[in-house]
């Protein structure tokens, strides 16, 4: 598959009409019987938290948290969330908590940061932004999750890769995610990705959250909400549909592996 060769020094690919995508997500969720909660409003946008109960007894359910759209220059995650809701094929024991867009204002600017220039995905240790404060307040009202999945893109990467956080050594899902994604998108096989050792598109960062001052969302989740999780990174230098397909395949593989 040919790379686009577009992204020099930043993301220069397709943009999305975030208001239209958020509206489509809301409509699709409503039609498929999701419960929808607005947990924050700002700059004319509503922050949605969507909930899909398991079709089994809730004691038997596996709670899965999925979020995306924290970086406004990474459109594939929004479209993947929309596609997953429209397909609406979830394992019957899965209870899904889905946050389809954490930084809508960033999308209006096609920028990683929010409207005040803050990278929200570095604001989870001592949060200052209204968006992250509202998100954490929502998270504190939720039960613990069995798994978290954060959907991202990386404009510099040579293919798809995934970060795994699995401190209790539960059955790993990273290989299953890579095996599914490689059918639809190239994998980044570099030995170093974002300064960390990588193998076969899998990064298992050996970091102690308490030693890092600027927590991403994933650190907040691993410390407070879930003992296993994955950050999926689609390569922005490939066509948008390929990146969407990669994230959808990765999510479905993780769900199948966990349920």
Nearer to Zn ion (CB atom), residue 74 or residue 237: 74
What helix, strand, coil percent values describe the chain, rounded to 5?
35, 25, 45
- Which residue among 52, 63, 152, 227 contacts Zn ion (CB under 5 A)? 152
Nearer to Zn ion (CB atom), residue 91 or residue 127: 127
Q: Please state the closest distance from residue 244 (CB atom) to Zn ion, in A.
A: 15
- Which residue among 52, 71, 225, 227 contacts Zn ion (CB under 5 A)? 71
Q: Please state the closest distance from residue 191 (CB atom) to Zn ion, in A.
A: 22
63 binds Zn ion (CB under 5 A): no
243 binds Zn ion (CB under 5 A): no
Q: Which conformational region is residue 203 in: left (phi greater than 0), alpha (psi within -120 to 50 degrees), or beta? A: beta
Nearer to Zn ion (CB atom), residue 74 or residue 146: 74
Nearer to Zn ion (CB atom), residue 74 or residue 95: 74
Given the structure tokens 């879930």, which residue do they identify? 226
CB within 8 Å of 10: residues ≥ 6 apart: 73, 155
The DSSP letter of residue 88 is -
111 binds Zn ion (CB under 5 A): no
Whole-angstrom distance between the N-terminal and C-terminal Cα of the chain?
32
52 binds Zn ion (CB under 5 A): no
Nearer to Zn ion (CB atom), residue 247 or residue 255: 247
Q: Please state the closest distance from residue 103 (CB atom) to Zn ion, in A.
A: 10
225 binds Zn ion (CB under 5 A): no
Total residues in contact with Zn ion, by rule CB under 5 A: 3
Nearer to Zn ion (CB atom), residue 52 or residue 243: 243
Q: Please state the closest distance from residue 169 (CB atom) to Zn ion, in A.
A: 26
| Main-chain phi, psi angles of 21, to 5 degrees | -65, -45
The closest alpha carbon to 73, from 9, 143, 166, 163, belongs to 9
Helix (H) or strand (E) holding 49: strand 45-52
Strand order in the sheet with 62-68: 35-42, 45-52, 94-99, 62-68, 147-154, 229-235, 161-165, 202-203, 196-199, 192-193
- The residue ranges that bind Zn ion (CB under 5 A) are 71, 74, 152
């Amino acid at each position: 598959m040919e790379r686009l060769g577009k992204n020099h020094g930043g993301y220069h690919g397709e943009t999305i009409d975030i208001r239209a995508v958020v509206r489509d997500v809301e409509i699709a969720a409503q039609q498929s019987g999701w419960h929808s909660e607005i947990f924050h409003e700002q700059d004319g946008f509503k922050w949605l938290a969507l909930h899909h109960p398991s079709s089994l007894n809730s004691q038997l359910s596996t709670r899965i948290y999925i979020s995306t759209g924290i970086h406004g220059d990474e459109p594939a995650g929004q479209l993947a969330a929309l596609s997953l809701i429209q397909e609406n094929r979830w394992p019957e024991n899965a209870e899904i908590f889905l946050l389809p867009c954490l930084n809508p204002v960033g999308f209006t600017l096609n920028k990683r940061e929010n409207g005040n220039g803050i990278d929200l995905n570095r604001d989870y240790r001592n949060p200052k932004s209204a968006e992250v404060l509202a998100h954490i307040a929502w998270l504190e009202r939720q039960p613990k999750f069995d798994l978290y999945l954060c959907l991202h893109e990386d404009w510099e990467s040579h293919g798809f890769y995934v970060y795994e956080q699995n401190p209790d050594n539960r059955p790993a899902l990273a290989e299953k995610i890579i095996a599914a994604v490689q059918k639809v998108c190239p994998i980044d096989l570099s030995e170093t990705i974002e300064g960390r050792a990588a193998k076969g598109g899998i990064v298992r960062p050996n970091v102690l959250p308490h030693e890092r001052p600027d927590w991403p969302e994933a650190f907040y989740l691993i410390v407070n909400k879930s003992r296993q999780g994955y950050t999926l990174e689609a390569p922005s230098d490939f066509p948008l549909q390929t990146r969407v397909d990669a994230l959808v395949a990765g999510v479905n593989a993780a769900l199948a592996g966990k349920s």
